[in-house]
Amino acid sequence: MLAVSSPLGHSKSANRRTLLRRNHRAAPAVVLNELRFLAQIVLKAESAESLLGIEGTPARTYFGEFAGMLTETSLAAGYSWEGRNRRPPRDRLNALLSFAYSLLTKEVLSACRTAGLDPLLGFYHRPQFGRPSLALDLMEEFRPIIADSTVLLAINNGTVQYDDFDEAAGSVALDERARRRFIQTYEKRLHQEVTHPVFGYKVSYRRVLELQTRLLTRLLLGEITEYPIFRVR
């Protein structure tokens, strides 16, 4: 359903721009302008196929500036960034991003089940055996503001240290002790309150995930005509 996929992609790009604007040491105006433009292009996609072709561009633009959101202290500690990689992640930042995305997937998966939705039947992420496609769809707009934000906070505040990782066979992963500390940082982010754009009152990010899932249910039932995206400013 393009009526869901395009707004989610738009919201993800817009939230990426906000994260860069707030946290980058000197976010280039050209990058911020490009992300604003690309967010509008994604919103106007005319088919799922064209959306798939477009969505990679804002991702490359955003991740191309990701290292700019690390503090000088973090960079001096040895963290480096050459772009997004996974399956398996080959460096520390990518290991944290993959772990954060897995935590967020589980959270949205739970919200889908609570709302009575089948998490395997997605719109943007095609159904595939064992993959929670709908949860992956709904978490898109929250990747920057929950997962990526948690990664930056954990590194820049020193919750996760450079030596807290295990390396083997070209793969990098957090060790067990650091994993617990990272989860605590992630939980704090989920408990942080923000004003919901539809309902106008403050709720935790965890509650926002539940509300967005229920809003999707209302859309599928025909009670509302469009999916209300969640954007931060």
Q: What pTM was estimated for this model as a whole?
A: 0.91
- In a domain? residue 227: no
pLDDT over 90 at 153, yes or no:
yes
Closest to 64 in 3D by CA, of 107, 28, 40: 28
- CATH number for the domain including 12? 1.20.120.920
What DSSP letter does each residue of 59-105 carry, written as one string?
A: HHHHHTTGGGGS-HHHHHHT--------SS--SHHHHHHHHHHHHHH
- In a domain? residue 232: no
User: Is residue 126 very low, low, confident or very high in pLDDT (cuts 50, 70, 90)?
Assistant: low
pLDDT over 60 at 22, yes or no:
yes
- In a domain? residue 226: no
- In a domain? residue 18: yes
Predicted confidence at residue 104, as pLDDT, reads: 97
Task: Give the domain extent around 179.
Answer: 2-220
Can you name the residues that pair with 128 across neighbouring β-strands? none
pLDDT over 70 at 211, yes or no:
yes
Q: What is the mean pLDDT of the chain?
A: 87
Please give the average per-residue pLDDT across 33-52, as a whole number: 73
- In a domain? residue 228: no
Cβ 120 vs Cβ 133: under 8 Å: yes
Q: How many domains does the chain have?
A: 1
**Torsion angle of alpha carbons 21, 27, 92, 140, nearest 10°?**
40
Please give the average per-residue pLDDT across 115-143, as a whole number: 79
- In a domain? residue 163: yes
| Percentage of the chain lying above the pLDDT 70 cut | 88
Predicted confidence at residue 86, as pLDDT, reads: 84
CA 81 → CA 64, 65, 102, 116, 214, distances in Å?
9, 9, 20, 40, 37
- In a domain? residue 166: yes
- CA angle 8/12/16 to nearest 5° reads 170
- In a domain? residue 204: yes
- Of 50 and 194, the structure prediction assigns the larger pLDDT to 194
How many helices (H) and strands (E) in the chain?
A: 9, 4
